[in-house]
Chain A
Amino acid sequence: MKRRIPEIVLFVAVFALSLVFQRYTLMDEGMWSLFLLSPDWFRETCSLPLSVSRAVSDFLLQFYDIPLVAPAITAMLTLGVYLLGGSMLLACAAWLLAALLPSPQYAVLALFVALVLRLALILLKKRIPEPKPALRLIPIVAAALVIIALPSVSRRETLSKAELCARQAQWSKVLSAATPAACSKDRSLLPYAALALSSEGRLSSDLGLYGFKSAQDLDMEGVQSREGYYFSSLMYEALGCPNEAIHRIFQAGCHLDHGTSYMVLYQLIRYNIEREDFTMVRKYAGILARSPRHRSLARKTLEVYGSRPDGCVEKESPSITNNPIYNLTMLYQHGIETQVSGDLFQAYMTLSQQ
C-alpha cells in the first residue's frame, strides 16, 4: 500500500487541482472541440498532424463540459502515463501540458509514448529502477506549484468562466469573474463586464468603477480571433440581432481546426431558433446528434423543432457597419431595442466624449 502512495497522490492532486483551478478552462475547451461520427470529421482529422492522438483527444474533450469529468479524465491520463511509463517526471510533464495548453492531446501522446516504453521494456526484459516514494512526490509537488502559481492559468480560468457564464446569461457569475480588480489585471475581461453590467442596466453608472477608458473597452469589434468573434456574437445576441450573432459565431468557427465546434453548433441552434429558421435548427441539431456526448440533447431539439415551419422571411433590412454607435442608432430606428442596447449606447457616448 505504501508503494502506491505516489500514484494515489498523483491522481488526487491532478483531479483536485484541475477541479479547483481549471474547472471552467476545461469546460470551455470541451465546448470548443468537435468529435463527430461523420466521414468529413474523420477525413479532416486524418489530414492534421498527430491525427491519432488528436482524434483520441477530441473524443475525450466532448465530455469536458461535465464539470467532474474533465478533471477525472486528466487525472486518469496522467496516472496512465505514470503506470505505463514508470516515470513520474513524464507523468507530471503530461499533466503540465494538459493544464497549460490546455488540451488532453499531449497527455494522450505521452500515454502512447509510455505504452511504447513499457512494451520496449517488456521485450528487453528490463525494469526501470523506482525511486523511493518520497522522491516520486517531488515532481507532483513541483507541477502542482506551477499550476497554482502561474498567472496565465488563473487568467485563463477567469476568462473562461466569464465566457461560459455569459453564454448562459448568468450575469452575476460573469461579474464575479470580471471584477474591477480582475479587469484591471486583464483588460480582455472588460467587454464581458460591459455586457453583464449593461444587461443589469448599470453599465453607464459603473464605467469609472471598472476602469473603462475608451469605446474599444466595451466590445471586441475588430478583434479577429476566436475569442473576439465569440464575444461579438454574444453581444449581438444581447442586442437582439441574431443575424449578426450568426455572422460572428461563423467567423469564430473559422479559427478552429474543423471550422466548427460544439460551441459554434449550439450557438447556431440558439440563434436560428431566435430568428425562427427551424430548417437550420434541424440541420445543426442533426449534426450535433453525431456526437456521442451531445446526441441526447440534439435529439430533444429535433423532437421539439422537428416539424415546425420556418418563420424567418425575406424583408428589407439595414446593414451592420463597423461603427458601434451608428449600429445602435440604426437598430433603435429599426425597432430593435433591448436592455443592453440603451445602456451600451449611453456608455459609448460617454466614452467617446472623453
Chain B
Amino acid sequence: MILVLALMSACVNMEESQDYPEIFPDYVGVTVPQGMAPLHFEMKDGTRCRVQTTVAGDTTWYKVSAAGVSYRAFPVITSHDAIDPYIAYRLIEPGYESWHTLSICQRELASFKETEIVTNKANGQGCINCHNFPGGDPSRMIFHARGKGGGTVIIDGDCVRLLNIAGVGPRKQGTYPSWHPGGRYIAFSSNVTKQSFAVDGRQPIEVYDTSSDLIVLDLQTDSVITCPSLCTEDELETFPCWSEDGGTLYYCSAWNAGPEPGDLHYRLMSISFSDGAFVGEPQEIWADEASSVSFPRVKGGKLLFTRSAYGTFPIWHSEADLWMLDLADGSLREATELNSPDTESYHSWSSNGRWVVFSSRRDDGRYTRLYFAHYDPETGCFGKPFMLPQRKASHNSLRLKSYNIPEFVLGPVADRQKEISELFD
C-alpha cells in the first residue's frame, strides 16, 4: 500500500518537459523497417528511465520518464518498405598493424541474433577481410584470408574452395571486391597498402596505397581479365563497383602523386564491360581537386559514395561524409541526413534500394558502429539514421570491436566454418 502510494505520489510530482529525452542510441524520430528488432535505449546520463509506448498507425510513440522528469513523447515511424533480413560485417579492433581475433559475422535484423560466419581461427589468426555477396545471395560469398597459405575463399553453394588470385594471370592479389550481377565475374582492386602513424593531432593513422590496379576474376575459368587502362602505373585505380545491369564498372582513380597521402585525390570513374571484356576507355564521372572519392555504390540510378579531404582510407578521416550523385542528371548533393561531425564511411544499399547501412564513428570517434537509414526515392532524401539495435543499449559502447564492411544479405549464411578451416590444414 505504501509502495503504491509512493509510486502514485512520484507520478503526480513528475515534472513535464517539452524536450525530447537525451537517449543513447538516439532513436528520436527515426524511421525503421517493419519487423526490426526492438529499439532498446537508455538515458545518455545513465539515469534509470521508464518507457511507455503507444502505437498509432505506423507511428510508435515513446514516452520516457527519468529522474522525476516526464519527457515529450517521441515518434518512431515504421516503414512498409522491406529491408533485407540479414547483414554481414567484420568485427575487428580499430587498431593498427595487427589484431587478435577477427570474425566475419551475420546479424538477423529482426532479432538480436549474431552468429559467426568465419573467424580467423580458421587460418591460424591471419587476417580475413573484404567479404562480398553477389546481390546479397547468402549461398555465394567470397572473402580473403591473408598470411601463409592464404588466398581468396570462394563459397558457392556447397562448394568451398581457396583460390590464390596472385597465382594466376598478371600475378596480382585481390583486395576490394565487387561481384558482377551475372555472378560469373568478380572485379577486384589489387592494392599495395602502407600505413603511417601521426605523432600529433586527432587522426592517428593514415592508410594509403602506393600502387593499385583493377582486375576481374572469371569464376568459370579461374582466369584473370585485365585492361591496360585499369592497370596503369601512373594511376591508382581502386574500389570497383558494378552497375545494376553489369554493363558498367565504376571505380575510383587518382594520379599517383608520390609518397604524400595528402596529395592523393581520387576521382569517380567508369568503364563499360560486355561479354567478359572491357569496352572503350575510362570516363571521368566526377572529380574534385580538393576531395577524394571512395566506395561508390549504385542503386536505382543513384550513386552513393564517401567523400573525404584526400586519400583512400576514409575511416580514419573525421571529415569523411556520404554524398550522392544522380547518374541521370549528374547532380550531386551531400547526404546531410546521414552525416555527422565525425566519420561516415563504408555503406551499402539494400536489395530494393530503400535502405542503406553505413559505418560511422559519430559516437566516440574511433569505434565504428552501424547505422541504417530509410531512403525515399520520391523525395531523394534519407530518413534520420538509427544505430543497429542491441539487446542492451550499453552493448554498443562496451563492444571493443569496430563494425567493418556492412553488407546486406538476403538470408542466413550457412555455417561453413569446418570446410573453411579444412582449406588451411
Contact = CB atoms under 8 A, between A and B. Distances in A.
Contact of A254 (B98, B319, B401): B98
B184 interface: no
Contact of B200 (A39, A254, A283, A336): A336
Interface string B373-414: 000000000000000000110010111110000000000000
Contacts of B101: 44, 259
Interface stretch (B191-199, B269-277, B284-292): B191-199
A315 B201 CA distance: 5
Contacts of B100: 253-259
Interface stretch (B9-17, B55-63, B359-367): B359-367
A195 B372 CA distance: 49
B397 A286 contact: yes
Interface in A215-261: 224, 241, 243-244, 246-247, 250-251, 253-260
Interface stretch (B202-210, B217-225, B293-301): B202-210
B95 A251 contact: yes
A313 B401 CA distance: 23
A320 B97 CA distance: 14
Interface string A25-51: 000000000001011100010000000
B198 A317 contact: yes
B364 A280 contact: yes
Contact of A243 (B201, B367, B395): B201
B66 to A, nearest CB: 17
Contacts of B424: none
Contact of A313 (B98, B198, B202): B202
Interface string B326-349: 000000000000000000000000
Contacts of A330: 199
A319 B196 contact: yes
Contacts of A259: 93, 99-101, 400-401
Contacts of A39: 391-392, 395, 398
Nearest to B309: A314
Contacts of A224: 98
A314 B202 contact: yes
B398 A317 contact: no
A318 interface: yes
Nearest to A290: B398
Given A40-B400, A253-B93, A254-B100, A319 B201 contact: no
B203 A280 contact: no
B99 to A, nearest CB: 6
Contacts of A319: 196-199, 206
A258 B201 CA distance: 28
Contacts, number: 110
Interface string A322-338: 00000000110010100
A316 B201 contact: yes
A8 to B, nearest CB: 43
Contacts of A36: 398
B306 interface: no
A36 B364 CA distance: 20
Interface string A63-77: 000000000000000
Nearest to A36: B398
Contact of B197 (A243, A283, A315): A243
A192 B372 CA distance: 49
Interface in B168-213: 196-206
B312 interface: no
A290 B200 CA distance: 31
Nearest to A239: B199
Interface in A83-124: none
A277 interface: yes
Nearest to B391: A39
Interface in B91-131: 93, 95-101
B313 to A, nearest CB: 14
Contacts of B243: none
B197 A320 contact: yes
B318 interface: yes
A314 to B, nearest CB: 5
Contacts of B395: 38-40
Interface centre among B101, B395, B399, B400, by most A CB within 10 Å? B400
Contacts of A253: 93, 95, 100
Contacts of B206: 319
Contact of A318 (B199, B204, B398): B199
A330 to B, nearest CB: 7
Nearest to B319: A314
Interface centre among B197, B206, B366, by most A CB within 10 Å? B197
Given A40-B398, A277-B365, A286-B397, A334 B199 contact: yes
Contacts of A320: 196-199
A315 B398 CA distance: 29
19 contacts: A36-B398, A39-B392, A39-B398, A44-B101, A241-B200, A243-B198, A243-B201, A254-B99, A258-B100, A277-B365, A279-B364, A287-B398, A314-B203, A315-B201, A318-B198, A319-B206, A320-B197, A330-B199, A334-B200
Given A40-B401, A243-B198, 17 more contacts: A38-B399, A40-B398, A241-B199, A243-B197, A243-B204, A250-B93, A251-B95, A251-B96, A251-B98, A259-B93, A259-B401, A280-B366, A313-B202, A315-B200, A317-B199, A320-B196, A334-B200
Interface of A: 36, 38-40, 44, 224, 241, 243-244, 246-247, 250-251, 253-260, 277, 279-280, 283, 286-287, 290, 312-320, 330-331, 334, 336
